[in-house]
Amino acid sequence: MERQENISSQSASMTQSRTICTTSKPKRFVNLNLAGVPIGDNASKFSTRAGDFIRIHIPVNKSDWRLVPINRNNDLWNALMNEFEFPVDHVNSIIESMFPNMYRRYKSDLRDSIRYPLGRRPRKAPKRKAVEGDEVVDEEVVQDVQPFELTPEVWEAAKSKNKATREANRIRHTTGRCSYNNKKYKLDESGIKVVPPSTTDKWLLGHEGSDGSVHPSAVEKHNWMRCLEESEKRGFVATHLMCRRSRV
């Protein structure tokens, strides 16, 4: 028992002496400019110490970049406040906003060090103008590529082809890529024609062509939906055969 008490007393004295040494160590004062960037003699020491704390949370292996703890800002701030002092008017609002930039900068430097072991990123060659003596493209290659260029002849041919395709299409689906809800909204907002309040009639109006014609398949579907709506109003469920007889 006496030995355990001596060991516990020694450990307590050691921890107390350590806390005294850490608390008695003077803090370094860091000046900040108007932009919130550390300046002065202790700016480099502050950046180095902040980088040390950041590296604790970020693993070295790029394939193991885990989520940083939620309380990282508070832990990092408390650790820095134990060693540094800042002006009162710049505390916590500007310094904490710099932490994400420090994380991103460290990850970027770590990524570049893995991708480019030589320490420099390869630069792209600048574009230069063609001069005499350069290699000339083969004429056969030019002839193969030239038909695909957007010349006036190619443009007119494409227009005529698209016009023939539109005329051959009997079902005029004016909705296109627009969703059904957006189509209803556009019909409600437009003041060109009187838009029917019924959703079924709006659907038929969306399938109406520019000349006012509607394909028979759309008309048949519209009549089927109107038959179902009327049957629901009357209180019974209509079958496909009943609506088919009503259309005949």
- Do the domain assignments include residue 151? no
pLDDT bracket for residue 106 (50, 70, 90):
confident
Phi and psi of 12, rounded to 5°?
Answer: -65, -40
Query: Does residue 174 share a domain with residue 96?
Result: no
- Do the domain assignments include residue 34? yes
Q: Where are the alpha helices (DSSP H) in the chain?
A: 2-24, 43-57, 72-81, 95-115, 139-145, 152-168, 180-189, 199-206, 216-234, 240-247
Q: Contact, 174 vs 207, CB < 8 A?
A: yes
- Do the domain assignments include residue 76? yes
Number of domains the chain contains: 2
Query: Does residue 110 share a domain with residue 21?
Result: yes
Q: Which of 115, 147, 179 is the last residue of a domain?
A: 115
Q: Which domain holds residue 213?
A: 169-247
Backbone CA torsion sign across 83, 84, 85, 86:
negative
Instruction: Render pLDDT for 38-70 as a digit per residue (tens, 0 to 9).
Output: 788 888 888 888 888 777 766 555 555 555 556
Query: What does the pLDDT average to over 128-150?
Result: 67
Instruction: Render pLDDT for 178-221 as a digit per residue (tens, 0 to 9).
Output: 555 666 666 666 655 566 667 777 777 777 776 778 888 888 88
The CA distances from residue 78 to 20, 28, 45, 82, in Å, are 18, 14, 16, 6
- Do the domain assignments include residue 58? yes
**Mean pLDDT computed over every residue of the chain:** 68
**Whether the predicted pLDDT of 131 surpasses 80:** no
- Do the domain assignments include residue 144? no
Q: Contact, 49 vs 83, CB < 8 A?
A: yes
Q: Which of 115, 135, 155 is the last residue of a domain?
A: 115
- Do the domain assignments include residue 207? yes
pLDDT of residue 172: 56
- Do the domain assignments include residue 156? no
At 32, is the secondary structure helix, strand, or coil? strand
- CA–CA separation, 202 vs 183, rounded Å? 9
Write out the two tokens for 217: 């398949």
- Do the domain assignments include residue 9? no
Query: Does residue 176 share a domain with residue 111?
Result: no
Query: Does residue 242 share a domain with residue 175?
Result: yes
Query: pTM here?
Result: 0.27
